[in-house]
């Protein structure tokens, strides 16, 4: 039995985005995954945080070349900011996979894989999935419903007994290729009173036969990626279609010790506040309306929250920092720093704005509130938008955005470390 500890919670519904902050005493038809955090237990290595985000944005925003399109998305993030242990097959074996809201399939490295990692510097034991050793596995063929719906119709040259394959090349040059299989996935289902029990669901996932680039390296290697995207091929869509859960999920992430829980399904209690999700976007985007600093609304251009093709604000647990356009970043920082006019700022590693401060940052700096559509307000305290790198040295988690949409406009991207109240 798993004890569901009280953690900060964000709920995202595929039809309606739900965002709120409260304890993770989840009740309802909910499946859960325990998650661990790559940077948990380590000192704040600023270069590592920034490098992680740069690689992730390359995958989020680059044009992806694919031999077979993966449900209209297929943007896995840099491996392993948050990862979970799942069970696959019968008998069930454990696999460590990145939990990613930006991709649309679950895939794991398979037996006989070419250039798949065999060890990980994260201290995890890696396992290759072998469909021949699972009594419940079956191959997915190109004429079956999963394959035709994933690729919006029959594949050219499809004939009986031809496997349904995938091959994705990402913007950073890494790639994953293989074929789809169907098998049991072991999950934890909430039973009430902060407890859960094991249950099984049948899902289709990718059996990785070949990896390259970062996906084949050992430094941050995992067994695969668990996609929580919006396409029908994603795990959340498959579980919802089978009637296991409703099509929603919740982040319950602990930003102090690292790790937490992903809850799949409708959270009945506690009650959550909702804001609509921007439709027809590749990622989970919501509409920001205003930013409040210390009780005062920032004076911003009326169209500042419309970032071109990528409309709305991207909420992304796979990004560590918060990236804001100059037209938001500069007035935000000016207002925050007006409370400490004598503060001596300095730059660390050519990109982080840092300062020496001996007192409580919550007493010395203002609270920031993000206002979203339908009157949803997210409160971010100073200890959440700053982080400590030495005993009395703090840095701001806000970054002047270099993240642009396809039409060249700076995007708003809210990540985890600087916005702990979100994640």
Regarding beta strands 93-100 and 82-88, do their DSSP bridges make them parallel or antiparallel, or are they unpaired?
Answer: antiparallel
Q: How confident is the model at residue 296 (pLDDT cuts 50, 70, 90)?
A: very high
Whole-angstrom distance, CA of residue 183 vs CA of residue 206? 11
- Flag whether the pTM goes above 0.85: no
* Active site positions, annotated: 100, 316
Q: CA 107, 111, 112, 118 torsion: positive or negative?
A: positive
- pLDDT of the residue at 362: 95
Q: Which of 6, 4, 73, 10 is nearest to 421 (CA)?
A: 10
- DSSP codes, 336-355: HHTT-TT--EEEETTTEEEE
* Residue 6 pLDDT greater than 60, yes or no: no
More confident residue, 121 or 334: 334
DSSP H helix total and E strand total for the chain: 6, 26
Lowest mean pLDDT among 89-98, 135-144, 196-205, 339-348: 196-205
pLDDT (tens digit per residue) in 207-236: 999 988 777 777 778 898 888 777 888 888
- The secondary structure of residue 338, as a DSSP letter, is T
* Residues 375-387, mean pLDDT to the nearest whole number: 87
* Residue 90 pLDDT greater than 90, yes or no: yes
Q: What is the mean pLDDT of the chain?
A: 74
Regarding beta strands 30-37 and 82-88, do their DSSP bridges make them parallel or antiparallel, or are they unpaired?
Answer: antiparallel
DSSP H or E segment with residue 387: strand 386-390
* Residue 70 pLDDT greater than 90, yes or no: no
Domains of the chain (ranges plus CATH)?
31-264 (2.40.70.10), 285-418 (2.40.70.10)
């Amino acid at each position: 039995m798993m004890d569901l500890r009280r953690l900060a919670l964000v709920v995202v519904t595929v039809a309606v985005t739900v965002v709120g902050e409260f304890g993770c005493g989840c009740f309802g038809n909910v499946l859960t995954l325990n998650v661990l955090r790559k940077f948990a237990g380590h000192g704040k290595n600023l270069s590592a945080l920034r490098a992680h985000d740069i690689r992730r944005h390359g995958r989020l925003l680059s044009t992806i070349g694919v031999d077979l399109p993966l449900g209209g998305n297929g943007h896995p993030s840099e491996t392993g900011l948050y990862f979970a242990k799942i069970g696959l097959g019968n008998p069930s074996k454990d696999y460590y996979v990145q939990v990613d809201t930006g991709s649309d399939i679950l895939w794991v490295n398979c037996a006989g894989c070419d250039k798949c990692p065999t060890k990980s510097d994260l201290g995890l034991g890696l396992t290759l999935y072998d469909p021949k050793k699972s009594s419940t596995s079956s191959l997915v063929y190109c004429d079956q419903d999963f394959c035709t719906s994933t690729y919006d119709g029959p594949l050219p040259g499809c004939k009986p007994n031809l496997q349904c394959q995938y091959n994705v090349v990402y913007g950073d040059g890494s790639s994953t290729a293989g074929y789809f299989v169907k098998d049991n996935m072991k999950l934890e289902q909430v039973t009430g009173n902060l407890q859960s029990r094991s249950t099984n669901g049948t899902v289709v996932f990718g059996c990785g036969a070949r990896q390259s680039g970062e996906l084949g390296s050992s430094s941050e290697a995992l067994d695969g990626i668990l996609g929580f995207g919006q396409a029908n091929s994603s795990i959340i869509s498959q579980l919802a279609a089978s009637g296991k859960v409703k099509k929603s999920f919740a982040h319950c992430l602990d930003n102090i010790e690292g790790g937490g829980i992903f809850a799949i399904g409708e959270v009945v209690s506690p009650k959550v506040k909702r804001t609509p999700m921007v439709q027809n976007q590749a990622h989970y985007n919501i509409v920001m309306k205003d930013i409040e600093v210390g009780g005062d609304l920032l004076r911003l251009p009326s169209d500042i929250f419309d970032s071109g093709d990528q409309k709305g604000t991207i909420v992304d647990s796979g990004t560590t920092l918060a990236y804001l356009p100059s037209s938001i970043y500069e007035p935000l920082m000016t207002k925050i720093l007006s409370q400490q006019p004598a503060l001596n700022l300095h730059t660390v590693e050519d990109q982080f704005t840092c300062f020496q401060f001996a007192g409580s940052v919550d007493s010395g700096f203002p609270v920031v509130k993000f206002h979203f559509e339908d009157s949803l307000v997210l409160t971010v305290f100073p200890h959440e938008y700053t982080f400590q790198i030495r005993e009395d040295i703090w840095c701001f988690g806000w970054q002047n955005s270099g993240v642009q949409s396809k039409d060249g406009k700076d995007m708003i991207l809210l990540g985890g470390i600087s916005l702990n109240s979100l994640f």
